Amino acid sequence: MSVKQGVTAVCRALSIYFLIWFLDALTYIPSDLYSFFHYGIAPITSGEVYLRNYHLISVGFRLLRMVILFFAVQWFYRAGPKLQAYFLAPSEADDQPRTS
């Protein structure tokens, strides 16, 4: 296996990891939405306002995380030249001569 094929395999493995993370976040959406709608669109008490806003922020950030993960899955699966350049970048240890 060449180094380029190894980098592609690592990128695909990370892509699968991100896909599983995305699917995990997807399973929480129904409970988050249920919690948000439980407090209604027009809450009565200040406690209900707080909880509605709390759940709204929770749903919003979960959706944002899912969008980022969705694009990360695609980006890592393609294993384009930028990712390969990142993973194949020479380190300082490679620049020093070896003595042994």
Angle made by CA atoms 18, 21, 22, in degrees to the nearest 5:
85
26-55 pLDDT, tens digit per residue, is 999 999 889 888 877 777 788 888 888 898
> According to the model, what pLDDT value does residue 99 have?
61
pTM of the model: 0.75
pLDDT at 85 over 80: yes
Token readout for 85 is 């350049």
Cα 21 from Cα 65, distance rounded (Å): 10
pLDDT at 94 over 60: no
Say if CB 66 and CB 22 are below 8 A apart: yes
> According to the model, what pLDDT value does residue 5 have?
85
